């Protein structure tokens, strides 16, 4: 008994130190800034373009819900914020960072899609002067999901979730629409169902900067909450925009996004072709989620968190394609 206890203790110590080593090596940043509501760290990839990179992680207490890329574009008249982060605290810290760069009013908060890690920071920006902008299908998606998102946020973050709210947008985009921030025009495009059924991209004409929202994941495994086939088509159209700077929804801002787009396309194509084969062969969903796409496992962060759900989504999408 005594020997056993010593044995298991040293095993625990060993596992603990291995874990510490692993954690140290992983690109998980603890964003202590958010808790103290001090400004977020920003990158400035192009003139007037500011991006805060979220942690490459799922929403958890140690990252405070700060897991998505968020930021803003500064014009001579006003500022457009693009996504607001996973909690009110993240949104407040983004606003604090923004105020260190400019005192111009925030005229628009633009949602790239409804997912909570991009939008619960809205609470920090609600005010008379700010118009919330989103895809025309955003309100219905938000109405259906808000309750569930709120419960999940409370469960994952507890008190850190306090005050978080997703605002109902009032300026809705179908097709394309341009907004003038003062000597700076940005072009918004609402996409057919791809990553979700309400993806919206933002293109800054002056610096040719493309904010893809979650239509591009760089390094972080893509997440399919829409249609893989539609997403593959969107990727081709996004590449054709020839952007000088690309800001993905997750992962680093890129000067050259060709590799990131190619990686994502390959991942989705693997899912589509293997799911089609499984459906032809009569392989069940339960078997498919364990077998499909394993070749991609080492190529992505957070693969274990999202991949099987992606297989479920693509398999059930393709079940009805003929």
Partner 1 sequence: MRRRVARYSTLLPGLLLLAASLLSTTAALADTAPQASEVSVWSKVRSALFGSRVIDENAEAIIRLDAPSRAEDAATVPIAIRSQLLQTPSRYIRKLYLLVDNNPSPIAAVFELQPESGRAEIETRIRVEQYTEVRAIAELNDGALYMAHRYVKASGGCSAPAGKDPQEALRNVGRMRLRVDGPIEAGRPTVAQLAISHPNASGLVLDQLTRLYQPAYYVRTIEVRYAGRPVLTADIDFSISENPNFRFYFVPDGDGELQADVVDTEDLHFGSQLAIKVGGLGGPTR
Binding residues for partner 1, per CB under 8 A?
A: 139-148, 151-152, 168, 193, 196-197, 225-227, 282, 284-286, 289, 308-309, 311-313, 316-317, 319-320, 322
- Minimum CB separation of residue 289 from partner 1 in Å reads 7
Nearer to partner 1, 254 or 313 (CB): 313
Question: 77 or 309, CB closer to partner 1?
Answer: 309
E-strand ranges in the chain read 43-46, 49-52, 70-74, 79-82, 106-110, 131-135, 171-173, 176-180, 185-190, 200-204, 209-217, 245-250
Q: Taking the complex as a whole, how short is the minimal distance between the CB of residue 320 and partner 1, in angstroms?
A: 6
Residue among 128 and 320 whose Cβ is closer to partner 1: 320
Q: How far is the CB of 294 from partner 1 (least distance, A)?
A: 15
Distances (CA, A) of 310 to 66, 218, 306, 313: 23, 16, 6, 5
Helix, strand, coil shares of the chain as percentages rounded to 5? 45, 20, 35
Q: Which is nearer to partner 1, 51 or 173 (CB)?
A: 173
For CA atoms 150, 154, 157, 163, the dihedral sign is positive
Whichever of 131 and 289 has its CB closer to partner 1, that residue is: 289
Residue 120 CB, shortest distance to partner 1, in Å, is 15
Which residues contact residue 72 at a Cβ distance below 8 angstroms, ignoring those fewer than 6 apart? 50, 79, 80, 81, 82, 94, 98, 106
Would you state the structure tokens that stand for residue 254, as one six-digit string?
Answer: 């890129």
Report the nearest approach of partner 1 to the CB of residue 224 (Å).
8
Residue with smaller CB distance to partner 1, 31 or 196:
196
Least distance from partner 1 to the Cβ atom of residue 242, Å: 29
Contact 219, 300 (CB under 8 A): yes
DSSP states of 252-269: --BS--HHHHHHHHHHHH
């Amino acid at each position: 008994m005594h020997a056993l206890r010593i044995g298991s203790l040293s095993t625990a110590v060993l596992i603990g130190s291995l874990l510490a080593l692993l954690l140290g090596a992983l690109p998980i940043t603890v964003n202590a800034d958010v808790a103290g509501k001090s400004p977020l760290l920003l990158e400035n990839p192009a003139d007037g373009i500011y991006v805060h990179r979220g942690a490459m992680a799922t929403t958890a207490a140690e990252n405070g819900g700060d897991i998505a890329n968020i930021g803003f574009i500064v014009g001579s008249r006003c500022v457009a914020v693009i996504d607001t982060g996973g909690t009110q605290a993240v949104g407040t810290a983004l606003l604090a960072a923004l105020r260190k760069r400019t005192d111009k009013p925030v005229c628009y908060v633009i949602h790239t899609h409804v997912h909570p890690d991009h939008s619960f920071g809205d609470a920090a920006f609600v005010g008379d002067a700010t118009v919330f902008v989103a895809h025309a299908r955003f309100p219905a998606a938000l109405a259906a999901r808000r309750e569930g998102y709120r419960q999940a946020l409370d469960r994952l973050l507890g008190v850190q979730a306090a005050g978080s709210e997703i605002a109902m947008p009032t300026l809705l985009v179908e097709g394309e629409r341009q907004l003038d921030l003062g000597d700076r025009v940005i072009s918004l495009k609402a996409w057919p169902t791809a990553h979700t059924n309400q993806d919206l991209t933002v293109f800054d004409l002056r610096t040719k900067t493309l904010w893809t929202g979650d239509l591009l994941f760089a390094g972080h495994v893509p997440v399919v909450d829409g249609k893989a086939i539609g997403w593959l088509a969107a990727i081709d159209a996004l590449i054709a925009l020839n952007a000088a700077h690309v800001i993905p929804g997750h992962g680093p801002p890129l000067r050259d996004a060709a590799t990131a787009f190619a990686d994502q396309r390959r991942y989705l194509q693997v899912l589509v072709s293997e799911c089609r084969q499984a459906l032809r062969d009569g392989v069940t969903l339960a078997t498919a989620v364990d077998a499909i796409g394993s070749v991609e496992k080492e190529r992505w962060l957070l693969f274990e968190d999202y991949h099987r759900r992606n297989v479920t989504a693509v398999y059930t999408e393709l079940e009805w394609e003929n």
